[in-house]
Structure 1
């Protein structure tokens, strides 16, 4: 990155990760009266979606995309959407991400001006986006959602709040 900056090119660094959310409940501890146990509606259903997020740690600027699954095609699409969101006048952009199979696949189409930088294996603590997921989960914790669309609306609303 220093070489790019020394050459006069602008380099922006973003972190990228996906977070799976679904109809299987997320529970948090809650206060209750002494001697009473709080009750929670439970309906284990295994339908989910992913929140794909690009965050620039330096500025907090972020883009999130809701998708129904992840694979190399979705990863290629997300990178194209990200590049379009930045605009063509943007200089070189580095995206720091983990080594999920759909990230490292040679079938991933990386747009011009985007460079993928991979974290070392087994190092989620180095990924800044990981710190956002507990904040996103607060929108769905201890709540029942009738369908996936209602859950997606709650997550979308929470994301707008987090972006300020």
Structure 2
């Protein structure tokens, strides 16, 4: 596993062999936990954060020839954050909304995820995540049954949770929201739909590696 505390110059950048490095890190972590906890279920999850806000998300749309489509928007820099935990193998997903990101916020979400996913002595979860500052180990309390596996730097393409945002954004693109509360309600409903749509989760996050 990579040391997230190491300076960027000392850590290898992502590249063509990045997926292979992740495979090796996961295989090593799985083997180690299996040896320490024989007979225990050991699974891999991935987590990532996505920022939404009152600044509109715009996408291209079809329009009659000669007509220019119009999307109503009002740029305001107020943000809502969605954190997803997803298992590419079991299609399980857990979604949490917040108004910011910090080490304390992530610590609280880890604890909630561990409880809801049943992590502990009977289910060990290896959690794949990037090297964001609030993910780094110093001062971070990690729940029992959760072990962190860090992606190589600059490799968002290797993060299965990253691929879910295109679906999360579906009900909010090209729309104007008056408040974060209104946006929160729409995004929360979409999180519930995605949690139940395990076929879509499998098709999107089920990386071959």
1:103 and 1:91 map into 2 onto residues whose CA distance is 22
Which of 24, 41, 49 pairs up with 2:72? 41
**Cα offset for 1:122?**
0.4
Unmatched 5+ residue regions in structure 1? Answer: none
Unmatched 5+ residue regions in structure 2? Answer: 1-29, 197-209
2:59 corresponds in structure 1 to 28
Greater share of helix: 2
1:81 corresponds in structure 2 to 112
TM-score, structure 1 normalization: 0.94
Deviations 1:32-75 (A, max 9, x none): 12211111112000001110111111011011110110111001
Q: Secondary structure at the match of 1:132?
A: helix
Which of 115, 121, 127 pairs up with 2:159? 127
Assess if the C-alpha contact under 8 Å between 2:73 and 2:175 holds in 1: no
Aligned Cα root-mean-square deviation (Å):
1.4
| Equivalenced residues, count | 164
TM-score, structure 2 normalization: 0.75
Q: Quick check: 1:72 aligned with 2:116?
A: no
2:123 and 2:68 map into 1 onto residues whose CA distance is 56
Which of 192, 198, 202 pairs up with 1:160? 192
Assess if the C-alpha contact under 8 Å between 1:72 and 1:105 holds in 2: no
Q: Quick check: 1:142 aligned with 2:171?
A: no
Q: Secondary structure at the match of 1:154?
A: helix
**Cα offset for 1:91?**
2.1
